[in-house]
Each structure stands twice: as structure tokens, then as C-alpha cells.
Amino acid sequence: MIGLFGGTFDPIHFGHLRPALEVFNALPFSELRLLPCGVPGHRTRPVANALQRLTMVRAAISSIPGFKLDTREVDKPTPCYTVETLLELRTQMPTHPLAVVIGMDAFLGLESWHRWHEVITLAHLVVTHRPGWDVEHIQDNPVLNRFVGEHQCWQAEELTARPAGGIWFQPVTLLDISATRIRQMLKAGDDVRFLLPESVNQLIKQQRIYA
């Protein structure tokens, strides 16, 4: 199974990397691809440019076996939609199990995704816990609640047995780190060490990415 972990990664931090690693180790993934997006579909434009975010992701994952950088979204001039990326991947891998890895905050906003109903027909969804975004909130949303009821898997083998269609919830170490907060800290001249890889911190400093 190939994992697809998209984001703005503006910048990439340990709140991305640690859950991604725990998911990668917990489930039968052959590789986990990080996909920095160019123009996000449903949020404001990133602060760092595409090349800078790509460089930071590359530096962050260079020594993690199984983690790969997928640059297909980053150069697109048009907004990135997961459904379109999956459709493109499906032309190359029609039946290989694919899993989109997302944090709970992203999952709770799933209904706002472009053609969200189609995503589950093209890939599994692997949802990681994130501080401040309670799994209980799913029950407050009848549409999402029914969607989970129809698709939730309880055995990891169910994910590798078919190309798409399952939802898996993965508890991970809760790290209350966000890129927004890191950018605010950098703007204020605060020390961001140990919130992100030191290689990324050095790139931010050398290239004055958030100066």
C-alpha cells in the first residue's frame, strides 16, 4: 500500500513527521509519499514559495527510509485537489492500494473538499489524531458519521485487500505543533528548535524564508 500525505508544509514540522512515521510503522505501507501542494484548494496561499517548501520537505525526510517526495502537485498553477491527484495516480496504478493520510482536523472538514465523495472510491483514508480535534466531533456530524459507519476498517489487512474504500483511524503521539504557530514565532524572532528538524530550521535561517 502506498501512503499519500499532502499538505502545505509551510514549514514541515514534527507534528507532521512523527504522526507520519507512526502511521508508516503501524500499517503495511511500502512507501509514504509527501506531496507538498502548490496552490491549496481550500485555504490561503502558503507564505514560503513552492521551491522553498519542497526543499524543506526534502531535507526533513532525506534520512527516513520509505519516505519519498512526490512533486506532482507543487508545480501546478491551478488549485490542488486530492481527487484530481488520485485520478492521475490511478492512470498509473489502477488497482494498487492507495491511502491518503490526513490529520483529524482535515478529516472533520472533508465535506468541503472538492468532489469529496469520490476520494474514497479512489483511495483509503488513514486519519491520525491531532490535538484539539476530537474524534467525538464526528458523531456531531450526521453525514460524516454515516460515512465513517459505511467505510471504517478494523483490521489492517482490509486495507491491503482492496485498492480503496476504507477508513482507518490511527492514534498517534499528540504533538500540539502547527505551521501557523511556527511562522508566528519566527516573525517574533522566537526560537523554533525542537518543533521541526534542525535541517529545516537551518534552511529557514539561511534562506530567510519567513523573514
Contacts of 206 (CB under 8 A, 6+ apart): none
Q: Which of residues 129-148 bind ligand ATP (CB under 6 A)?
A: 130
The residue among 76, 78, 81 whose CA lies nearest residue 116 is 81
Least distance between ligand ATP and beta carbon 180 (Å): 3
11 near ligand ATP, rule: CB under 6 A:
no
110 near ligand ATP, rule: CB under 6 A:
no
- Using CB under 6 A, which of the segments 11-19, 140-148, 156-164, 194-202 binds ligand ATP? 11-19
Q: Which of 3, 9, 56, 61 binds ligand ATP (CB under 6 A)?
A: 9
The type of residue at 9 is F
Alpha carbon distance 33, 76 (integer Å): 17
The type of residue at 44 is T
160 near ligand ATP, rule: CB under 6 A:
no
- Is 70:4 a contact under the CB 8 Å cutoff? yes
Residues of this chain that bind ligand ATP (CB under 6 A)? 7-10, 15-16, 19, 102-103, 105-106, 128, 130, 175, 177-180
